Structure formats: structure tokens, C-alpha cells
Amino acid sequence: MDSVVLLQGLRQLSSLAAVSMTEQPFSGSALLTPHGEGARKGALNIVCLLSLTGLPCPEGSPLCDQKIKMNFGTWNVRTLLDNTDSKRPERRTAVIARELRHFKIDIAALQETRRAGEGQLKEEKGGYTFFWKGLPEEERRIHRVGFAVRNDLVKHLTETPTGINERLSTFRINLAKNQQATIICAYAPTLDANEDIKENFYCQLDTILSEISKEDKIIFLVDFNARVGQDSDLWPGIIGKDGVRNRNSNGILLLTKCGEHNLVITNTLFRQKNKLKTSWKHPWSKHWHLLDYVITRARDRRDVLLTRAMTGANDCLTDHRLIGSTMAIKIAPKRRLRGRKIRR
């Protein structure tokens, strides 16, 4: 009798934990305060106990199936080119792959790859395949963008990343439950860039966003060279209450574009220390700023469980932190075509 009461109590506690963890980030709940972190760990312990007893998790709990989570990242790596004068024996892609694997990133958007042309490279030991889009070998290559995708996920892709130009690349993935998502990697012009260059970039970006099916989820992984600030009252539904510092003119361009396409900047939805929000340190003032973003449709913001800076990425020769985002989505396995059996 006592064991039955205990099991019922565990099931009720798990239900309460599931409810507390599925609150909308915009509600102002402190997902990463000591209280919130303790609740999360407690809920995980309860689920472990339930699994040992054979009881099912409460319906709708994000803890029921840990496999439904995917980790996305955006990282300005400064370059994917190898330096022949360096004493480092590893390829640049091998170093980046090791860090991505350490943080369990499934798909990462990379900026400033500086590689020429369009191509791909598979790091067998590193566990990632790199895709990139850049200018021809004879032209000066400063920017360039690309993706790193876990090798075991590449076989499930129905299409490979498509380079639009040296600043924009996209590809589409099939998700579970007959859903699709369009992933965009972008590297926006800096604050002091020519206005014509900025206008051209935002026009191309607007075209890409407008052509995406309204049923598709959008996973926008970007170094926008923009500061969006923390004025959530002025930009409701676009940023949360946990932004960083003040916005600048590039930030206004980004906020306006998000408003036009009903997008939300997920970096600003979670209450956490500033070092877990910021991604780039100014070389002169030494202040940390948030320039790299994970952006989704506003209607899908509950898919995002956490977006934060990865402060432990080491030895990668970049002044940007990796931004990681965990989402409650799952890529669908690629279907195999089977031939019809011939009866004899």
C-alpha cells in the first residue's frame, strides 16, 4: 500500500515539474535562477525514478523523451582556412568540430569561413561535415558563411545547404510529425559598412524570408553585427526582458525586420548572467556585447528551451563565443524507397 502511495506522489510531482518547465519564457519566469535550476534538476530526478518504476511520464512533459531535443549553434569562427605557418598540427575544421562535439551541437551556422567557392568537407574523426559558400579563389575573401552538420544527421537531409551569396546560406530539413524547418545562416554588414551594402543585404534577406512557406518553422542562426538592447516595452513580442545594454542603428534594422516577419530573438527570453548572454568583446572598451542571435517565428518560441553563450569554447582563435540553442524538435529519418515484391 505504501509503495502505491509513493508512486502516485512521484507522478504528481512530475506533473507539477512539467508544468513549471513549460511556462513561456516571456512570462518572466527565471529559468536559470538558482530556484529554476533546482526545479529542473529535481524534475529530472523524479523522471529517473519514474523510469525505474516503469511508470509513464505525464503527457506533454518536455522531459518524457530526451531524444526530441536538438542543439543548434551560431558561431563566427573568423576562418576555416589552415595557416601553413602555424605549429598547430590539426586542421582548422578539426578544431571547430571538436568544440562543437564538446557542446553537443547538432547543426551550427558558421560565419567568416573565408573559404573559396562552394564545397563541403567531412571530418571523420571530428564527427561533422562542413558546407560553405564563398567567392572565387582569385577574389578577396573576407566574409563567407557555411554550416557544420553532425555526420550521422547528414544522411537524413533531403537537401544540402544552398549558398545564396557570401553572406547568406539556407537549407530545409524535414522534422517529425510531417513538419519542415528552414535554417538560415547569415553574416550581416558591420555598423560602419556602406549603406548600399546594408540595403542590398536586407533586401536579399527579406526575399528569403518572404519565400519561406508559412507552415515552415524558421531557425535563423546569425551574426548580425547588431545590438538590440533590452527595451521589450518598445519592441513587444520581438525581444524579451533579458536583453543586454542599448541598441544601435543595426539593431533597429534587425528589430524592424523581425517585426515584419513575426520573428522573436530567443537570446533575450531567458534570465541568466550577462556572460551567458554576450558573444563578443569590444577590443577597445573590453565590454561584452550580444551580436550573435538565434531567431525563430514568434509562434514557435515555446520550442526553444534555452539559448545561451558557451563560455568554455577554447583554443579556437576567434573573438566570438559560440551561441547554442536547445529546441524541442526532432529531425525526421530519411525514408528509404522499397521496391515492390514480385509474387511467383
Residue 137 vs residue 249, higher pLDDT: 249
Angle at 274 between CA 20 and CA 281, to 5 degrees: 145
**Within a domain: residue 333?**
no
**Other CB atoms within 10 Å distance of the CB of residue 220:** 27
- If asked whether residues 13 and 84 sit together in one domain, one would say no
- Does position 163 have pLDDT exceeding 70, yes or no? yes
Q: How confident is the model at residue 166 (pLDDT cuts 50, 70, 90)?
A: confident
Up-side HSE of residue 156: CA atoms within 13 Å toward CB? 16
- If asked whether residues 34 and 100 sit together in one domain, one would say no
Residues 6+ apart with CB under 8 A from 206: 257, 260
**Within a domain: residue 269?**
yes
Total domain count, the chain: 2
User: 217-240 pLDDT, tens per residue?
Assistant: 999 999 999 999 999 999 999 999
User: 138-161 pLDDT, tens per residue?
Assistant: 565 566 899 999 999 998 888 889
- If asked whether residues 48 and 121 sit together in one domain, one would say no
Q: How confident is the model at residue 37 (pLDDT cuts 50, 70, 90)?
A: very low
Provide mean pLDDT across the span 295-322. Answer: 89
User: 252-295 pLDDT, tens per residue?
Assistant: 999 999 999 999 999 999 999 999 999 998 888 888 999 999 99
- Dmax (CA) for the chain in angstroms is 80
Give the amino acid at 109. Answer: A
Task: Sort strands 179-187 and 217-223 into parallel, antiparallel or unpaired.
Answer: parallel
Task: Check residue 180 and give its pLDDT.
Answer: 94
**Other CB atoms within 10 Å distance of the CB of residue 340:** 5
> Which range (26-40, 177-191, 316-330) has the least confidence?
26-40
- If asked whether residues 22 and 83 sit together in one domain, one would say no
Task: Check residue 23 and give its pLDDT.
Answer: 38
**Within a domain: residue 332?**
no
- Does position 87 have pLDDT exceeding 90, yes or no? no
Task: Check residue 86 and give its pLDDT.
Answer: 56
Provide mean pLDDT across the span 163-175. Answer: 92
Q: How confident is the model at residue 36 (pLDDT cuts 50, 70, 90)?
A: very low
- If asked whether residues 48 and 128 sit together in one domain, one would say no
**Within a domain: residue 164?**
yes
pLDDT, the chain, mean = 80
> Which range (65-69, 177-181, 300-304) has the least confidence?
65-69
Q: Which domain covers residue 270, as residue numbers?
A: 68-327
**Within a domain: residue 337?**
no
- If asked whether residues 30 and 79 sit together in one domain, one would say no
- Report the CATH number at residue 315: 3.60.10.10
Residue 318 vs residue 153, higher pLDDT: 153
Highest average pLDDT, of 51-60, 114-123, 167-176, comes from 167-176
**0.85 exceeded by pTM:** no
Q: What is the DSSP string of 48-109?
A: HHHHHHTPPPPTT-TTS-GGG-EEEEEEE-S-----TT----S-HHHHHHHHHHHTT-SEEE
- If asked whether residues 129 and 249 sit together in one domain, one would say yes
**Within a domain: residue 121?**
yes
Q: How confident is the model at residue 31 (pLDDT cuts 50, 70, 90)?
A: very low
**Within a domain: residue 336?**
no
Residue 275 DSSP code: G
- If asked whether residues 233 and 107 sit together in one domain, one would say yes
- If asked whether residues 38 and 74 sit together in one domain, one would say no
- If asked whether residues 257 and 120 sit together in one domain, one would say yes
Task: Check residue 27 and give its pLDDT.
Answer: 35
**Within a domain: residue 334?**
no
- If asked whether residues 39 and 113 sit together in one domain, one would say no
Task: Check residue 341 and give its pLDDT.
Answer: 56
- If asked whether residues 243 and 175 sit together in one domain, one would say yes
Share of the chain above pLDDT 70, in %: 69
